[in-house]
Amino acid sequence: MVAKYYDELGNNIVQCHLCPHECIIHEGKSGICMVRSNIGGTLVAETYGSLTAANFDPIEKKPLFHFHPGMEIFSLGSVGCNFKCSCCQNYHISQTGISGFPRLVKKTLPEIISAAKENPYNIGIAYTYNEPSVWYEYMFDIAVEAQQADLKNVMVSNGFLNPKPLRDLIGYFDAFNIDLKAFDEKIYKKFTSGNLSNVLDTLGFIVKQGKHLEVTFLAIPGLNDDMTQFENMVGWINYYLGDNIPLHLSRYFPQYKMTAEATPETLLQEMALIAGKKLKYVYIGNVPIDDFQNTMCPQCGHLVIGRRGYFVHTRHLNQKGNCIFCDFEIAKV
């Protein structure tokens, strides 16, 4: 599949404009994502039509806690990523190209839509597991078909995408969970090979377009746990995105190339208390801390969504997604 968003520079050299890396790619080579390759002077999206996984997941697993809570979503993944995070939990699919993952499964657009429609509890399709923006063309085509089939589209992403591809895509999408890796440019560059400013621009654009947004922050001891930086991040979310943006604080475990000890639960609780001073909804993930799993109504204080792991056991919402006790807006349903 010929890729979108690139220029030919001559001498069979191309430049990709999908993400801010703006990779200049010589013939026979790939960009930093390992899946957008120069074949004979043409940029090719090598993963088009190829998946590593297609599963029904609880929507809470994305994590999205305020978007159709308690429902399921058909989740698709492929290979490749434009970040190089040293603790990636899905490194076996994100840090490789198609030659490094021989078990790719071919799926046509009709097959995907048909599978998604089979489950009566399914609300749509999530593009997840690895970084979905690097298989942009396939994701885009699926999303168009899904929208026509009255299915929701959800993107779980690092947010490192150039403005034009994001503008072209966003009309077909309903919800996003974006990883915010740190709130410092030097840490971002060293840890991910990307940058913070482009991710912040993505977050702001999603909110301006009126799309549902939740943010995930993986707290890693000794890397991004500076409390001043964390407070600044929370303040930025509050000011630029709004105090109703759910923040998921996720516990780090040693993975891939990173061997630091797991995040202490006490650190996550401290961060959650700090964030809770400026944000209405703060959750802790990857560890069962009940006080930070449930959703309490910010207006009346009642429990409106009770969770156990990824599953909802209490849902005190009306048909509009508002609190049944005081009618405060809680979730999109």
Q: Does residue 291 have a pLDDT over 90?
A: no
Residue pair 69/333 in contact (Cβ under 8 Å)? The answer is yes
**Residue-wise pLDDT tens digits, 228-248:** 999 999 999 999 999 999 999
* Residues 185 and 125 occupy one common structural domain: yes
Percentage of the chain beyond pLDDT 90 is 98
Give backbone dihedrals phi and psi of 50, rounded to 5 degrees, phi first: -120, 135
* Alpha-carbon span 183 to 196, nearest angstrom: 7
* Residues 29 and 104 occupy one common structural domain: no
pLDDT-derived band at 114 (thresholds 50, 70, 90) equals very high
Q: Does residue 41 have a pLDDT over 80?
A: yes
Amino acid at residue number 58: P
* Residues 73 and 191 occupy one common structural domain: yes
Does 304 fall in a domain? no
Amino acid at residue number 42: T
* Residues 38 and 127 occupy one common structural domain: no
How many domains are contained in the chain?
A: 2
Does 162 fall in a domain? yes
Residue 31's domain comprises 6-45
Does 135 fall in a domain? yes
* Residues 127 and 259 occupy one common structural domain: yes
Average pLDDT estimate for 199-225: 98
Helix H or strand E segment including 27: none
* Residues 71 and 30 occupy one common structural domain: no
Tokens of 73: 């979503």
* Residues 41 and 187 occupy one common structural domain: no
Residue pair 274/231 in contact (Cβ under 8 Å)? The answer is yes
* Residues 164 and 191 occupy one common structural domain: yes
Output the pLDDT for position 217.
Answer: 98
3-state secondary structure of 28: coil
Does 66 fall in a domain? yes
Concatenating the DSSP letter of every residue in 136-164 gives: HHHHHHHHHHHHHTT-EEEEEE-----HH
| Entry pTM | 0.98
* Residues 126 and 14 occupy one common structural domain: no
Does 301 fall in a domain? no
Q: Does residue 288 have a pLDDT over 90?
A: no
Residue pair 331/307 in contact (Cβ under 8 Å)? The answer is no
* Residues 285 and 168 occupy one common structural domain: yes
* Residues 236 and 87 occupy one common structural domain: yes
Average pLDDT estimate for 36-54: 98
Does 184 fall in a domain? yes
Average pLDDT, the chain: 97
**CATH code at position 145:** 3.20.20.70
Q: How far is CA 311 from the centre of its chain?
A: 19
Nearest alpha-carbon partner for 68 in 133, 153, 149: 153
Does 202 fall in a domain? yes
Residue that the structure tokens 């993986």 belong to? 218
Average pLDDT estimate for 32-54: 98
Does 321 fall in a domain? no
Output the pLDDT for position 132.
Answer: 98
* Residues 176 and 233 occupy one common structural domain: yes
